[in-house]
Structure formats: C-alpha cells, structure tokens
Amino acid sequence: MHETLSRIMTACGLAALAVLGANPALAQTYPNKQIRLVLPYSTGTTTDVLGRLYAQKLGEALGQGIVVENKTGAGGNIAGEFVARAPADGYTLTLSTSAVHATNPALYGKLPFDTLRDFSHIGLLATAPNMLVINPKLPINNMAELIAYAKANPGKLTYISAGSGTSPHMSGALLKSMAGIDIVHVPYKNMSQGFADLFGGQVSMSFYHVPVAYPHVKEGRLRALGVATPQRSPIAPEVPPIAETVPGFDIRPWWGVSGPAGLPAEVVNRISSVTTAMLRDADTRQRFAAMGMEITVMSVKEFNDFTAAELVKWTRIVKESGAKAD
C-alpha cells in the first residue's frame, strides 16, 4: 500500500507539472494529422460503441479525422501496452477503462505498463451499471433464488466475461465473495461469442452493461435479476438493485480518455477542453443517456486523482474477492 501511495503522489505531481509551460504555437497547430484512438475490446462491446461515438465527436471538435483501432486480447492489456509505448505526441489516444487501468494491475500481478507512470490521463467520460442476466430456462427469477440455487448446486452456475479483469469478471467475483456462493468464471475472447452460448444455455449468466444486455431481456432471450449499483437504471427501472439482496454490492465500470505519459501540456489541455465541451453538449448527453451512461466531467487533475483512487479501490476488491487472471 505504501508503494501504491508513493506512485499515486508521483503521478499526481507529474500531472500537475504537465500543465505548466504551455506552448501557444503547439496548441494552435495540434492536431495537424489523423489521430488514432485505440480501444482495448472488440467491436460491438460497450467500450467499442462508446469509443466510436467519442471518436466522432472528438473529430468534429478538433476538425481532424479519428481512426478507431480495436487491439484486443489479454483482458485489454495488449492495447494498454501499445498506447503506453506510443510516441507522446497526442496522435495515439486510448479509451482508458476501470478494467485495464484499475483492476488488471492487481489481477495480473505484473504488467508491461504502469497505470500511473506510463499514461497521461486526460478526462473521465462516463460510468455505467452492469446488469445481471441469466438464461431464462434456469429455474431462477430473482437474486434470492439465484443465491439459493448456487448454494444447493455449487459449481454448476457459470458466468461469462470478455477476459480476466473486465467488469463482468469482477462483478461475478465480487458476488461470489459477498454472497458466499460457488460460481465458475468462463472467459471468452469477446462477449459476442459468450452471449451466443448464453442464449443457447451452454453457460448460465453474465454481468454486462445495461444498454447491451437489456434489449436481450426485452426480447425474451435473457432474464434480468438485478443491476450492480444501489440505484435502479433509468433504462430498466423495473429491475431491482442487487444490493437489495446482497447489501453493499456496488460495482460500476468507467471509461476515460488517456494517452502515453509525457504528452505536452498543450495537447492535454486541448483534448480536455474539447472533451469537456462535448460532454456538456445536449446531443452528446442525450446519446450517452440512451446508452445508459452517466456523464461525469472532471478536470485533468481530478481524473488523475480519480484513477489513482480507483487503483487502490480495485486492488482491495481483487484481494478480498480472491479473483485471479484466467
């Protein structure tokens, strides 16, 4: 913990220094070529949908094209390493996530990048609740019945994710720990494959972001048991919080924008400024809300502090849950 706090202080100090010594000429010329936005997960995921919307809005605001690249694998760590090693010129950015930048460092033990040292964290975009959904053929209609079934059938229920450290994995691990049940994690290369097996009954259940999971509930292909935040989702107000059955259960993924460490202050401030304006735009807010996203505007310093605090929080959750990378 002392080592983590030391890294936090160093990272926050570097972030503060980055704001100093702005170069007006660079601010006026950036960007003068295409920007690459690296996404850590596959097409069709919430991260992909959000990333492409952000790329569109950012490109419009900067007057420059944004190329989206999905670099998947290793629970998002491949994308994390790629961006950490990219030139610090503002032309390679990433959608930072709670999984890659807060959970994975504790889950994997040793990574080829450091969450705080190797990135310039620019701003938070949104958070979103997960929804617990199950195959409707299971004789389970609510959280109490799920827990009772799991205790009567240890190891029989399986839950899917797109890999170790992702929010579906950690949501299941936390439920397993807090409810005292034996459920089995089944990681997939992408959630599309996992959901196909979930529809077919080869696996039992999944935690996934409300905007993606809920349409399958309305179509009758899945059954919703609860949302992973203390408040109900405005998209699915009839689905109760899991915390009503498992007190204190609260887990929500987040997404931000980051680049390699050492980005010029002028670049960081420019991206932060246009991102803040974008998040306050009525059209953006409406489109985020339709996806079940909750927008939170943060300054560069606030987002650096937030990322550092999330690293401490998720390290604790990983240790308490006993979760491991599969």
Summarised one tens digit per residue, pLDDT across range 274-288 is: 999 999 999 999 999
User: Which amino acid appears at position 232 of this protein?
Assistant: R
Count H helices and E strands in the chain, helices first: 13, 11
In whole angstroms, give the CA distance from residue 215 to residue 325. Answer: 30
Mean pLDDT of 244-256: 93
pLDDT at 279: 96
In whole angstroms, give the CA distance from residue 240 to residue 233. Answer: 9
pLDDT at 210: 87
Summarised one tens digit per residue, pLDDT across range 176-224 is: 999 999 999 999 988 889 999 999 999 999 999 887 899 999 999 999 9
Classify strands 130-134 and 205-209 as parallel, antiparallel or unpaired: antiparallel
Contact between residue 222 and residue 196 where contact means Cβ atoms under 8 Å apart:
no
Residue with tokens 């107000």: 237
Please report the beta strands in the chain, taking only residues with DSSP state E, as ranges in sequence order: 35-39, 66-70, 92-97, 119-127, 130-134, 158-161, 184-187, 205-209, 223-227, 254-260, 294-295
Mean pLDDT of 140-157: 98
Question: Closest by alpha carbon to 81, among 58, 108, 53, 55?
Answer: 108
Residue 271 pLDDT > 90, yes or no?
yes
Helix-helix angle 300-321:2-18, to 10 degrees: 160
Q: Output phi, psi for 106, to 5 deg.
A: -85, -35
Q: Is 19 exposed, middle or buried (0-12, 13-18, 19+ CB in 10 A)?
A: middle
pLDDT band of residue 290 (cuts 50, 70, 90) is confident
pLDDT at 326: 67
pLDDT at 15: 46
- In the CATH hierarchy, which top-level class contains the domain 130-244? alpha beta
Summarised one tens digit per residue, pLDDT across range 306-326 is: 999 999 988 988 887 778 786
Q: What's the CATH code, domain 2-128+253-321?
A: 3.40.190.150
Percent of the chain with pLDDT over 90: 71
pLDDT at 211: 79
Instruction: Count other C-beta atoms under 10 Å from residue 252's C-beta.
Output: 17
Which position has the higher pLDDT, 301 or 3?
A: 301
pLDDT at 27: 52
Give the pair of three-digit tokens for residue 238: 């009839």
Give the pair of three-digit tokens for residue 198: 């979930």
Residue 5 pLDDT > 50, yes or no?
no
Question: Closest by alpha carbon to 185, among 161, 213, 156, 218?
Answer: 161
Contact between residue 20 and residue 265 where contact means Cβ atoms under 8 Å apart:
yes
Q: Give pTM, 2 decimals.
A: 0.76
pLDDT at 17: 43
pLDDT band of residue 154 (cuts 50, 70, 90) is very high
pLDDT at 209: 85
Locate the domains of the chain by residue range.
2-128+253-321, 130-244
Say which range, 11-15, 82-86, 197-201, has the weakest mean pLDDT: 11-15
Say which range, 133-137, 226-230, 259-263, has the weakest mean pLDDT: 226-230
Question: Closest by alpha carbon to 125, among 7, 282, 325, 293?
Answer: 293
